[in-house]
Amino acid sequence: MAIGQQDRQINKTHQQNTLSFLVNRQRAWVEIDLTALAHNVKTLKNFIQPQTKLMAVVKADAYGHGAVAVAQTALTNGADCLAIATLPEGVELRQAGINAPILILGAINAVEDIQAIAAWQLEPTICNLEQALVFDRTLASLGKSLPVHLKLDTGMSRLGTNWQDANSFVSLVKSLSNLKIASIYSHFSTADESDRTTMNLQHQRFQNAITQLKDGGYIPPQIHLANSAATLCDRSCHYDIVRVGLALYGLYPAPHLRNSIELKPVLQVKAKIAQVKIIPSGEGVSYGRKFITKKDTKIAVVGIGYADGIPRNLSNHLQAIVGGKLVDQIGSITMDQLMLDVDHIPDLRSGDIVTLIGQQNDLSISAEDWANTLNTISWEILCSFKHRLPRIYI
């Protein structure tokens, strides 16, 4: 074996031993596959035009995946810049030594927060004229200037200046010597829907606003509009930057987008069996006796519950993978534990691993499965896993 191959094998063995050590210490955990994340970043980068930048959205602790590790992996594998929602999220990344451009998607208004943005060299979103003036005055007192991103509201009815007022908005910001316009952007409200009517209307409004600016003699340095769904469904929305969140983590914003590119889920949720026991026929399981056994039944008590982010409303609707087979969750999910019907699984014991989200052999359970059962969205599921669950990176 060549020396390089020996080194790689030693490193792989060390990683496997470290993973085993970490898992052995936990009752439950979230497993993050950085190789899958790297695949998704590279796939997305290849999907967009070479001149289009990939902005990795790592807000909300990278949708529960761990912001620092995700940001580092994304940047290493082709992402050009990052987006977060709050000031502390940006500070966390800077403290970790990340020097890439970081856009704050949320609105900042307080003077002390603006001072911190300048100190940490973050790039804020400017939503309206009042906010722009506060930024300019604060930065003037510091003797500093900042790159800023101007947000237009084209129909999301959230942050941003109305698209029809783009000319006056941009003109004022241009006149403020301490603000340097880095981009102008907007956000879709329905890009994940198969009906493109509203999306097309918003796109047209954005184009109209940019055209008006150009007709007035101003050419924006960068413009961006596409989230994950728009990135996958409409290349005409790519412009200078695409802001990719959910797709980065290997999930599709909608079923009709599955065939656009091949993504790999990054996150798995696993826990250990705490006890295996037989309960008699007619016995209730968990609080409220929402499940009554119809026969003597072998159950597994698993050390994970709603305090870890398992929605209680999934009680009696959840499945898990144990020993390479699907099993049903029974009874009410409790704060720290849940119960599984493992009557058809032989040779189970405490310490055996249960997969709640993830894949074993040909079986898989996804965050989308949970979201469909709960009539919610996969974004919410990913962001729900609490920090009591350690993130283990592989």
* Numbered residues of the known binding site: 158, 335
State residue 77's pLDDT score: 98
**71/69 Cα distance (integer angstroms):** 6
Structure tokens at 71: 């940001």
267-393, which class in CATH? mainly beta
Catalytic option among 214, 277, 287, 325 = 287
**340/215 Cα distance (integer angstroms):** 65
Structure tokens at 134: 């506060």
**349/272 Cα distance (integer angstroms):** 10
| In contact, 134 and 109? CB cutoff 8 Å | yes
According to DSSP, the β-strands at 241-244 and 102-107 are unpaired
How many residues make up the chain in this entry? 394
Structure tokens at 172: 């004022």
State residue 12's pLDDT score: 54
Residues ≥6 apart with Cβ < 8 Å to 340:
299, 300, 302, 320, 322, 327, 328, 329, 330, 354
| In contact, 30 and 357? CB cutoff 8 Å | no
| In contact, 45 and 73? CB cutoff 8 Å | no
State residue 22's pLDDT score: 61
Return the SS3 of 63: helix
Give how far the C-alpha of residue 286 lies from the chain's centroid of Cα atoms, to the nearest Å. Answer: 33
- Rounded to the nearest 10 degrees, what angle do helices 34-47 and 67-76 cross at? 50
Catalytic option among 59, 151, 270, 272 = 59
Buried (b) or exposed (e) across 219-258, using 16+ Cβ within 10 A?
Answer: ebeebbbbbbbbbbbbeebbbbbbbbbbbbbbbbbbeebe
Please say if 306 is a catalytic residue. no
Q: What is the pLDDT of residues 269-320, one digit of tens each?
A: 999 999 999 999 999 999 999 999 999 999 999 999 999 999 999 999 999 9
Domain ranges in the chain?
A: 34-257, 267-393
Kindly report the backbone phi and psi dihedral angles of residue 165, in degrees, each rounded to the nearest multiple of 5, phi listed first.
Answer: -100, 20
| In contact, 240 and 227? CB cutoff 8 Å | no
State residue 10's pLDDT score: 47
Quick one: 34-257 is in which CATH superfamily? Alanine racemase (3.20.20.10)
Residues ≥6 apart with Cβ < 8 Å to 272:
26, 27, 28, 302, 303, 350, 351, 352, 353, 354
Distances in Å between the alpha carbon of 188 and those of 128, 226, 275? 19, 7, 48
Distances in Å between the alpha carbon of 142 and those of 157, 314, 390? 33, 52, 40
- Residue 15, by phi and psi: left (phi above 0), alpha (psi -120 to 50) or beta? alpha
What are the DSSP calls for 275-304, one per residue?
A: EEEEE-TT-EETGGG-EE-SS-EEEEEES-
Return the SS3 of 252: coil
Q: Which residues of the chain have pLDDT under 70?
A: 1-24
Please name the helix (run of DSSP H) or strand (run of DSSP E) that holds residue 271, with its range, or none.
strand 267-279
Kindly report the backbone phi and psi dihedral angles of residue 284, in degrees, each rounded to the nearest multiple of 5, phi listed first.
Answer: -80, 150
Q: Minimal CA–CA distance to 233: which of 210, 259, 208, 251? A: 259
Please state the pTM of the whole predicted model: 0.92
* Numbered residues of the known binding site for substrate: 158, 335
Please say if 298 is a catalytic residue. no
State residue 1's pLDDT score: 45
